[in-house]
Amino acid sequence: METTKTDRHQRLALPPHMMDVLRWHVDNILLPHKMRMSDLLFPAVTGGFRSRSCLDKPFENVANEIKLPFSFTPRGMRRTYQDLARALGIHDAVTRAISGHATVEMQMHYSTARSNEVRDALAQMSGVASGATIIKLDDARRERRKRQTPRKAADESEAA
């Protein structure tokens, strides 16, 4: 296609095994002439765009086959790439380059923190905090006031 919906030209360098899969797809799936002539990788038999609902039935069939206990639609896949890339530790700049998201905000919009990620982060934080001394809140406030008092006096003398 000429550009993405963000009007950016995008090129992706694919590993050889992925190119092999795509070549197989073109050679074996794109049988009608209009499909082969299309610039689209997954065109409709007319060569144009597929309908928005083209994956609804395959998703429903797979969900039934694996006895998925909840409803899952192709729209739910919007966040899957971002979440998998994060889980694999792929750098954010690379993730955005592949997805075509121009901003961090858009990348974050399509990301979700999974419960295991939150659990693991909290476990890491508790490990860091486990050696910390517990201080009563009133004592901490008193200590902070003591530290700020000499600083305020020094600031006032510099201003004068």
pLDDT reported for residue 119: 85
pLDDT reported for residue 143: 87
**Taking 80 as the threshold, does the pLDDT of residue 137 lie above it?**
yes
Burial 36-48 (b: 16+ CB within 10 A, else e): eebeeeebeeebe
Going by pLDDT thresholds of 50, 70 and 90, the confidence category of residue 100 is: confident
Nearest Cα residue to 59 out of 80, 81, 74: 74
DSSP state string for 72-91: --GGGGGGHHHHHHHHTT--
Tens digits of residue pLDDT in 24-82: 988 888 888 899 899 888 899 999 999 989 999 999 999 999 999 988 888 888 788 88
**Distance of alpha carbon 109 from the chain centroid:** 8
- Report the mean per-residue pLDDT for the chain: 83
Going by pLDDT thresholds of 50, 70 and 90, the confidence category of residue 4 is: low
**Taking 80 as the threshold, does the pLDDT of residue 93 lie above it?**
yes
pLDDT reported for residue 122: 82
Going by pLDDT thresholds of 50, 70 and 90, the confidence category of residue 2 is: low
**Distance of alpha carbon 19 from the chain centroid:** 24
pLDDT reported for residue 158: 67
Going by pLDDT thresholds of 50, 70 and 90, the confidence category of residue 156 is: low
Residue extents of the structural domains in the chain? 15-48, 74-128
Mean pLDDT over 111-116 rounds to 83
pLDDT-above-90 percentage for the chain: 20
Q: Check if the beta carbon of residue 34 is closer than 8 Å to that of residue 45.
A: yes
Tell the burial category of 89 from Cβ atoms under 10 Å away from its Cβ (0-12, 13-18, 19+).
exposed
pLDDT reported for residue 149: 72
Give the integer Cα–Cα distance in Å for 22 and 16.
Answer: 10
